[in-house]
Amino acid sequence: MDKELEIIKKEYEEKLKRKEEKKKDKDKDKDKGKEKEKVKEEEDSDKVKTEAEKLKAEKAVEVPSFSKYQLHRDFFNIRQQNYREKQIAKRNMERLKSPSSFPSVPKGGPV
């Protein structure tokens, strides 16, 4: 995942460099508006930084699909366990309600 991030960052930085070079070539032709372009470059660099941070955050948030599967499997196991506990509780209540489940009083006298 780190390699992918690095590749994406490099590609993005190269694109930005190309854009900046094109802007600089146009700026050389035009002496007017240098200050405006500097402000734009600063804004672009700020945008680049924020976009790079967003990419990092998005990549950090993403979890490999294997762990997602583990998470869902855990939910399923929890639900199964709860279902089993409910079934056991029902059986126990039925046993307690039926008088035949309790031992009977011994018949006859003491020995």
The reply to whether the predicted model has a pTM over 0.85 is no
- Give the pLDDT of residue 18: 92
Cα-based torsion angle of the residue sequence 41, 45, 46, 50 in order, rounded to the nearest 10 degrees: 150
pLDDT by position in tens, the chain (length 111): 788 888 989 999 999 999 998 888 877 777 666 667 777 788 888 888 888 788 777 766 555 555 555 567 788 899 999 999 999 999 999 988 988 878 888 888 876
Q: Are 31 and 59 in contact (CB under 8 A)?
A: no
- Cα gap 58→54, rounded to integer Å: 6
Domain boundaries, the chain: 1-62, 64-99
